[in-house]
Amino acid sequence: MTPGDKKPKADGSRSRGASPRGGHKYRLKRMREESLKPPLAQHPRAEKEQSENFALDCGWGRLVFAQTFNDLETLSSSLREEKPDRRDIAIYVRDPHVLLANAPQEMFLDPSHTYRLQFSGYRASKRLPKGFFIRRLTSQQDATAINRIYASCNMIQVPPDFFWSKRDARSITYFVAEDEHSGEVIGTVTGIDHFRAFGDHDHGSSLWCLAVDPQARHPGIGESMIRHLAEHMIARGAAYLDLSVIHDNEQAIGLYDKLGFKRVPFFSIKRKNQINEALFSGPAQDEELNAYAQIIINEARRRGIQVDVLDAEGGFFRLTQGGVTIRCRESLTDLTSSVSMAICDDKATTRRVVSEAGVKVPDQIVADAPDQDIAAFLEKYGNVVVKPARGEQGRGISVGLETVDGIEAAIKDAKQYCDQVLVEECVEGMDLRLVVINFRVVAAAIRKPPVIAGNGRSTVRDLIKVQSRRREAATDGESSIPLDQETERTVCAQGYDLDSILEDGEELVVRKTANLHTGGTIHDVTDIVHPDLVDAAIKAARAIDIPVTGIDFMVKSASGSEYAFVEANERPGLANHEPQPTAERFIDLLFPLSMPASARQANQRPSAENEKQKGET
C-alpha cells in the first residue's frame, strides 16, 4: 500500500470519499467509448508501423481510411482516383466539414451513421443457427452467388475473380450463409481487419456488405452473420467492430441496437457520382412507385431518357427521348395493342389462341357446367385447379382440389374476382415464368410457393405473419402471404391448422400457388432452361402478338422439355429476376437508339429462328 492510501474495510469495501481505482478505470473506459479517442485492444497484438495514405480495394470500390492521411488535400486526391462504376468511401474523416468546403461540387457527406460494437462487453449467443450454417467463401460458385444476392439487394456487384483472388487474404474476409437442405448461399458479409490491413494502432475491424437473400425463409440470418464475424475478429485480437448504416434503415438499426452496437461520432465522405445520386440529390419525386416501375425508370434515367411520373400509385409514367414518347404502366406500354391485352385478360381466350399455335395446354371446362360434368372432370383428373377467367397476382386461384365440395367452395371464392370461373386439369410440377421481350426470352425463373420453418415455439399463424413481414420488407410491400381460405386449406391438407406448433426446423408449404404477390419466391434458371420451353414461350407470344409478356408453364424440370401452358401476363414484373437484364432489354425495345452501337449491331443480325423461317418459305 502506497502512502496516502486508505486501508480497506474487512469486507473489502472502501470508506466514503475514497477514490477507487476501479471507478477511475470505468470512467476512463466510458470516456474512450464516447469520444473520438481509440479504444484499447481486448487482445493486444504486436505493434507494427501504421501505413500512410492507405486505401483498400474491395471490388465494389475502395475503403479510404482517413486516419492514415496526414492532410486533407492528399485525402481529396485519393478520392478523385475513384474508378468508373465504383463507389469509394472515405471513412473515419475527423474534419468532414473542412474536406467538403474544399470540394463541395465533387463530394458529399454520407447520410449514414457509424455504429461500434466494443468487444470488451460482447457476449456470445447460446442459440445456434437453425437450417443454415456460416462458412468462408470457398469457390467460384460462392462468388457468383454473392453477386446474385448483391443484385437482389441493389448493391454494386463485384467481379467474381476478385472474390476468388481474395479468398486467402489476411485483411479482408468473406463469409457466406448456406442453406443446410438446398446448399444455396442465402447470405453474405465482409469483414475488414484494420490491423492486418494497415497496421491500425487502434486494433479495429469493420463490417461491410451484409446482405441476406430476400427470398430466404430462415429467421436470424443477418444476426448470425454479424455474430460470426464479430467472434472471428475477437479471435484475431481486434478491439471493436464498426459498421455504417443509412440513417433511415430502422430495421437494421434496431438489430444493431439489440446486439449492443453504439453510435459513434465518425463520418464518411463519398464522391458525387451516378451510383451515389440518390444519397445527395434529395428525396426522389417518384419514391411512391413500386419496384416494377422503379426498375424501368432507373434504367431509362441511366440512358438519359426523360421520365415523367403520371400516377405513382397506379404505376403510370411517360418516357421521352428524341421525339419519341411512350406511356407505360410498369411493363405494359403503348406498344401492346388492346387486342393483345384482351387476349391475355381472358384466360379461356388465351388458352384457345396459344393452343391453335401448337402450344400444349391443360384440359379445361367452365365452372357453370352441369354438376355431373364437373364431377366427371374431377374423376378423370383426380385433382383440379379453380381460377377466375380474369384477374392477376394469383387472386382467387385454388390449386389441388380433390373433392366436389372443395371445388364448389373455390368457385364461390373465385367469383369474388370474376363472374366467369374456370375449372382446369391440375398439372403437377413447378411453376416456370419466362419473360419474353421483343419475342426473345430474356429471363426464366422457377417460382416456388411460400414455405415456413418451425422453431418449436410459434404457431403456424405467427410463423406466416413473420414470413409475410419479411417478404414485404424484401419486396417493398409487393409480396405477402394472405391468411385467407386458400392458405388455411393448404395447411389443413397437410394435417395441421393455423394454431399448430411446428417442431424446430420443420418446414411447411402454406400455399399451393407460387405467385410472388402471395408470398412466392423466384429462382433464376435462365442458364439451364430447355430450348423446347424457350421455343414454346416465343410461339405463345407470337400467337398473342404481344411485345412484352410473362409466359407461365408448369414443368417437371426447367431443364426438361415437358410443359403445360398456364397463362400469359400482359404486364410481367421485371424486378426480382436478377442477374438477368430484364429492364435493359425492355428499354432496348422502346428506344433502340439508346443501346450501345455494338449491341444494336448484334440485335440486327438474323436470328436462327428467322433463318429457319426463310428456309421454309
286-299 pLDDT, tens digit per residue, is 667 888 998 999 88
Q: Among residues 198, 235, 205, 228, which one has the least CA distance to residue 50? A: 198
Collapsed DSSP state (helix, strand, coil) of residue 601: helix
Q: Among residues 119, 110, 88, 66, which one has the least CA distance to residue 226? A: 119
User: Span 549-569, mean pLDDT?
Assistant: 93
Residue ranges and CATH numbers for the domains of the chain are 116-261 (3.40.630.30), 284-333 (no CATH)
With contact defined as beta carbons under 8 Å apart, do 590 and 303 qualify? no
Helix axes 338-345, 347-356, angle to 10 degrees: 110
With contact defined as beta carbons under 8 Å apart, do 309 and 294 qualify? no
CA dist 236 and 335 (Å) reads: 60
Q: Answer yes or no: is pLDDT of 78 > 80.
A: yes
With contact defined as beta carbons under 8 Å apart, do 454 and 599 qualify? no
Q: What is the pLDDT of residues 386-406, one digit of tens each?
A: 888 887 666 778 887 888 888
With contact defined as beta carbons under 8 Å apart, do 510 and 464 qualify? yes
With contact defined as beta carbons under 8 Å apart, do 398 and 449 qualify? no
Q: So what's the pLDDT on residue 526?
A: 94
With contact defined as beta carbons under 8 Å apart, do 318 and 326 qualify? yes
Would the pTM of this model clear 0.85, i.e. be above it? no
Q: What is the pLDDT of residues 216-265, one digit of tens each?
A: 878 889 999 999 999 999 999 999 999 999 998 888 999 999 999 999 99
User: Span 478-505, mean pLDDT?
Assistant: 86
Beta bridge partners of 423: 365, 386
Q: Among residues 465, 524, 446, which one has the least CA distance to residue 152? A: 524
Residue 407 identity: I
CA dist 256 and 115 (Å) reads: 8
Q: Answer yes or no: is pLDDT of 14 > 60.
A: no
